[in-house]
Structure 1
Amino acid sequence: CTEYNTFFEEAQHCEQWMARHSDLLQNRFSSDNIPGDQTQVLLTDLQALQDQIREYDRRVSSLVVKSQDIIPLKLRSQRVTTSIRVRALCAYHQQGMSLQRGEECFLTNNSQRTKWKVKTKTGLEGFVPSACLLIPAPNQEAIDTANRLKLQHDRLSGQWKTQQRKVRLVAVFGAIRQVRAWDLKKFMAMDPAQREAVWRALQHDGEKLITECGTSDREMSKLAEELKQCEQIYLELCQAAVAREERHVSTAHIILQRVEAVSRDLTITDQQLSTLLHRPLPQNNLAVQESFRSYREFQLKFDMQENEIKSLQKEVKELSPR
């Protein structure tokens, strides 16, 4: 009796749990307008739900096995219309009727609640207290219940797989839109490892979905085409980025050479300025004119160097990492 009650209580619990989570899958994960920023949260929740579904698979499978050993208690209160097999729970010897413990016989009439009419394998018939008799397993109701739960679990697993693929597809198309929005400026602003990781993840997730569903599916065919276009975008941006980096390196090398040249010129200019400052004061008109000419030439050269430095500062700023 305990095993009987435990079996059907567990079966009812499993049935109710699977019904609730079937509704959850239908209501939360089947929307046609899943926001792209929620896909990762939904996928995490779906993964957690899959773990629970697997646990209930084990519980239902256990019930399927146990169903073969559940005794049919309800048959005790139902009028038999044909003889059924019963087993003696204890030895019984009275009024010309004798049964050994564990002996099997056939129940022919259970119209009386406390006494059942049985027939032994030797053909002996008589009444035996119903409490002394067991209607053994199997219990068809228990078997049918377990099989129904198995079908319900299979439907739930299929529903989970459908909704999980749907959310994954939304996530993949969201990543495709992200890649399509890339231009060279955005591409160069990303770390090379990051942009490659984005593309590799998109490629892996997309190709896995296509493998699972097949290209005959209309959405998978569209996805395959979108992936090809994204790959072309990624490769073209990679080539453009390499070309820009090469120009960047070449320009930086030229600027470095100019900086070194300006540095040398400034060293010379510093020496010339020191010479001019320590020159004796002119003593006549000719010497004054010569000094004025020297200072004017120095000023022109100094102005040219200052302009070159400003130009270099501007170019270095433009060359700095974005």
Structure 2
Amino acid sequence: MSSLQEARSYEAEVSPNFRSSYSETLAKLEHQYCKLLEHSSWRLQSLESLHAFVSHCTEELIWLNEREEEEIAFDWSDSNTNMNAKREMYNDMRLEFAEKRDVMRSLQETAARLCQENHPAKQTVEAYSAALQTQWQWVDQLCVCVEQHLKDNTSYFQFMSDARDCESYLRQLQDTIKRQYTCDKNSRLSKLEDLLQDSMEEKEQLIEYKSTLASLVGRAKTVVQLRPRSAESMLGTTIPIRAICNYRQIEITINQGEECVLEDNSQRTKWKVISPTGNEAMVPSVCFTVPPPNQEAIDTASRAEQMYQKVMSLWHQLHVNMKSVVSWNYLLKDIRTVSEWTLDTVRRQSPSERQHILDHLESQLTDFLSDSKESSLFTAAERRELEKDVQQALQHCQDLLVNMESVEKDESVSRSYLSELQDVNLRLNETEHRLMRGIEPLPSSRLSGNISDKIIQIAEQEKLQSELDVLRSSLGDLSRRCVHFFEEKPTSSSVPVLRSELNQALERTDNLHNLSSVYLEKLKTVEVLLRSLDEAESQVRKYESRLSEEDTVPADTAAIQNLKDQLQRWQAEVADQESIFQALQAQRSSQRGGV
């Protein structure tokens, strides 16, 4: 510009002949300079816009490349369990990615504008724009992969955690059940009944937990495989993998959802993959998932299921053991009850009450045989022995019933004999009353009564004696029948009472018979005495009459002597009769005292 100004200052010094040509040339030169200056300014603006665009694109490409490297390098194997931290990082990246979307849109608009303005570096702009677009789409595809891996790995680790919790819970439950519900025949019945109730609640929990286990088994079939993602887990053979996103390179093209073959996993971040079309290439492992079945997860769920079955089997066995011991206690109680029955017990029972107890015993036996069928506490021999005990108890009851019939028959016979003895006693009472009334002490005036009265008394007493003989004979016949009954039924409960009553009746009959015999003899003796007394009185009256005839004393000596001799003879006769009177007096006194 300074050169043009200097040339313009020389224009006045140019000769007139050349001034026109000089001015024209200078004008052209100035015009060219202006055009050059304008083009230079445009080029500068283009360079500045290109620099700004390329710088911004480079910055975004660096960010995208960093995200790419970060996601490709992330360890998605089973050794990295911290999915929560990864989810937080990914969420932050997604937020930043969303913010970058406007920047990307602005850069694409800038690239389109520059290309539309026919920017000198149009190809460069298009190349950067395409690279940015491609990298953006690739990172977006990686986000799809990350989301899928987060979902799959979270499910995997949650499954493994739930499986461990399940095994731990079942192991603890197994120990608790074994510790709490193990019993033996010495366990208290009341405690076992409470434990049976508790065990049913435990079973409800186990049944409810079965749905959790079923869910775990179902989830095991959907869990992806993470072990092949570890470089330490070398493949023994190729395994199928599934593409999570689209992947396109010169040597291979893979579409989302296609099933490929993993041939080599020796590098954790890149796998040697065979596409459905047969092409081989090294592809980032993040683009693939190793689909189910996961044998490790299935085996884990299977172990949990087997442990659940063991716990259920343990619960069932211990529950059966407790139930069998409870049934055994109830059965023993009923066996003891029936075995301890006596004849009095059976006789006090009503038939319905007795049958109810026997039915309950048989029902308890049925329950025990059913409950102890799978019990480990009772052998087959013990079960047969208990059946034998029940049969013995039932036979004991049957024997008691037979004995009761026999006893009732014996008691009927005994009551019949006792009734006969009662009749005998009534007759003895009547006879005793008549006898005692006859032998009551009588006034002395009656002892000298009429002989005919004594004859009547003797006749009545002989009749009474005859009745006693008949009664004694009847009692003898009854006694023989009773003795035969005693010999046939020596253990009958009615024997002692009947024997006592019989002995009393026999003794009483003998006593009355003896007393009656003595009394009859006394009566006969009294009759003899009375006859002797009458004869003695007759003699006395005879001598009294004789003496009364001699009421005057004779005058002459001879008559007096004769009277004296007569009196002496009478006196001698009386003296001869004195011993008779003395014996009669003694006998009378003796008989009066006896009567």
What interval of TM-score do these two structures reach, taking the shorter chain for normalisation?
Answer: 0.5 to 0.7
After superposition, the C-alpha distances for 1:62-101 in whole angstroms (9 at most, x for unaligned) are: 3223322211122212443332211100111124321011
1:228 aligns with 2:391: yes
Structure 1 position 80 matched with structure 2 position 242: no
How much does 1:226 deviate?
3.5
Residue 447 of structure 2: aligned partner? none
- Give deviations 1:2-44, integer Å, cap 9, x for gaps: 3212322222222112211221232222233311221211111
**1:13 partner letter:** D
Alignment-derived partner of residue 127 in structure 1? 282
**Larger relative contact order, structure 1 or 2 (CA cutoff 8 Å, min sep 6):** 1
The structure number with the bigger radius of gyration is 2
CA contact (8 A) 1:180 1:233 kept: no
Aligned to 2:370: 208
Aligned with 1:58 (options 211, 215, 228): 211
Shift of 1:149: 1.6
Q: How does 1:250-261 map to 2 (within 5 A)?
A: none
> Which amino acid in structure 1 is aligned with residue 361 of structure 2?
W
Q: Distance in 2 between matches of 1:205 and 1:18?
A: 31
Correspondence 1:150-189 to 2 at 5 A: 150-182=305-337, 183-184=340-341
Q: Show structure 2 runs of 5+ residues with no match.
A: 1-152, 409-595
> 1-side partners of 2:176 and 2:392: how far apart?
36
8 Å Cα contact 1:206-1:223 kept in structure 2? no
Retained in 2: the 8 A contact 1:90–1:132?
yes
Residue 6 (structure 1) aligned with residue 169 (structure 2)? no
The superposition leaves residues 247-297 of structure 1 with CA deviations (integer Å, 9 ceiling, x where unpaired) of: xxxxxxxxxxxxxxxxxxxxxxxxxxxxxxxxxxxxxxxxxxxxxxxxxxx
Sort the Cα spacing of 1:227 and 1:8 in 2 relative to 1 into closer, same or farther, 3 A. Answer: farther
Report if the CA contact (8 A) 1:165-1:209 is conserved: yes
Deviation of 1:216 after TM superposition, in Å, equals 7.2
Counterpart CA distance in 1 for 2:291 and 2:252 is 21
Matches of 2:193 and 2:399 in 1, distance apart? 29
Partner of 1:139: 294
Q: Comparing 48-57 with 146-155, which one deviates more in the overlay?
A: 48-57
Corresponding letter in the other structure for 1:116: W
Q: 1:69 aligns with which of 222, 229, 250?
A: 222
Q: CA deviation at 1:231?
A: 4.4
Measure, in 2, the Cα distance between the counterparts of 1:83 and 1:133.
14
- The share of aligned pairs that are identical, in percent, is 29
Cα distance in 2 for partners of 1:146, 1:210 equals 33
CA distance, structure 1, for counterparts of residue 386 and residue 181 of structure 2: 20
Distance in 2 (alpha carbons) for counterparts of 1:186 and 1:48: 42
Q: 2: CA distance between counterparts of 1:25 and 1:229?
A: 38
Q: Which residue of 1 aligns with 2:380?
A: 217
Q: Provide the residue aligned with 1:94 in structure 2.
A: 249
In structure 2, the residue matched to 1:31 is 183
Question: What code does the residue aligned with 2:380 have?
Answer: D
What runs of 5+ residues in structure 1 fail to find an aligned partner? 247-322
Q: Could you report, residue by residue, the CA deviation over 1:104-155 in whole angstroms, capped at 9, with x for unpaired residues?
A: 1111223333322211132211122222111111101011111112221222
Distance in 1 (CA, whole Å) between partners of 2:395 and 2:349 is 19
Q: Report deviation, 1:196.
A: 6.7
Match of 1:111 in 2: 266
CA distance in 2, matches of 1:34, 1:156: 22
Q: 1:22 is matched with which residue? A: 174
Higher relative strand content: 1
Pick which of 184-193 and 112-121 moved more.
184-193
The Cα shift of 1:172 comes to 1.8
* Structure 1 residues 108 and 49: CA distance shift in structure 2, 3 A: same
Q: Distance in 1 between matches of 2:345 and 2:156?
A: 67
Check conservation: 1:213, 1:220, Cα contact below 8 A: no
- By percentage of residues, which structure has more helix? 2
Change (3 A) 1:197 1:28: farther
Matches of 1:178 and 1:186, distance apart in 2: 17
Change in Cα spacing, 1:156 to 1:229, as seen in structure 2 (3 Å) is farther
Q: Would the aligned equivalents of 2:265 and 2:271 in 1 still touch at CA under 8 Å?
A: yes
2-side partners of 1:227 and 1:171: how far apart? 17
Query: Matched residues in 2 for 1:118 and 1:96: separation?
Result: 11
Which stretch has the larger CA shift, 131-140 or 222-231? Answer: 222-231
User: What is the RMSD of the two structures over their aligned residues, measured on CA atoms?
Assistant: 3.5
1:213 CA displacement: 6.4
Partners of 1:90 and 1:102 within 8 A in 2? yes
SS in 2 for 1:69: coil
Aligned residue number for residue 361 of structure 2: 199
Judged with a 3 Å threshold, the aligned counterparts in structure 2 of structure 1 residues 186 and 98 are, in CA distance, closer, same or farther, namely farther
* Corresponding residue number in structure 1 for 2:200: 47
Q: CA deviation at 1:170?
A: 1.5
Cα distance change on mapping 1:45 and 1:158 into 2, 3 Å: same
Deviates more, 1:123-132 or 1:48-57: 48-57
SS at match of 1:169: helix
Letter in 2 for 1:173: W
Give secondary structure in 2 for the equivalent of 1:126. Answer: strand
